Structure 1
Amino acid sequence: MNLEDKVREAIIAELRRQAETGQQGLRVDARAAEMMTIEGRVNLDELAMAIVGSLAGGP
């Protein structure tokens, strides 16, 4: 898996996690391979931590 794939997967996973908590009214549609639709508020601090964690080898 290359770096771009890791970042892409981390972004999608974190946005889905945030959408599941429902705190910001976030809705995510990531069915397409290279495109996604995001509606609502995103916690950028949590998104950034998830991306950095994936690059550092975290879960």
Structure 2
Amino acid sequence: MNIEDQVREAIVAELKRQSEAGEQGLRVKAGEAEMITIEGRVNLDELTMAVVGSLAGGP
């Protein structure tokens, strides 16, 4: 897996996690590999930590 795939996967996973947690009324719809629809507020600190963690080899 290349770095772009890791970042993409981490972003989508974190956005879905935030959506499922009900944070800020966030709704995420990922249909195609290259496109995602996001409605609501995103916690950027948590998103950033998820991306950095994925690059560092974390969960």
For the superposition of Structure 1 and Structure 2, which TM-score range results when normalised by the shorter chain? over 0.9
Identity of aligned residues (%): 78
Partner of 1:55: 55
TM-score with structure 2 setting the length: 0.98
Q: Distance in 1 between matches of 2:39 and 2:25?
A: 8
Q: Distance in 1 between matches of 2:23 and 2:55?
A: 26
Structure 1: 4+ residue segments shifted above 2 A: none
Cα RMSD between the aligned structures?
0.4
Q: Which runs of 5+ in 2 are unaligned?
A: none
SS of structure 2 residue aligned to 1:15: helix
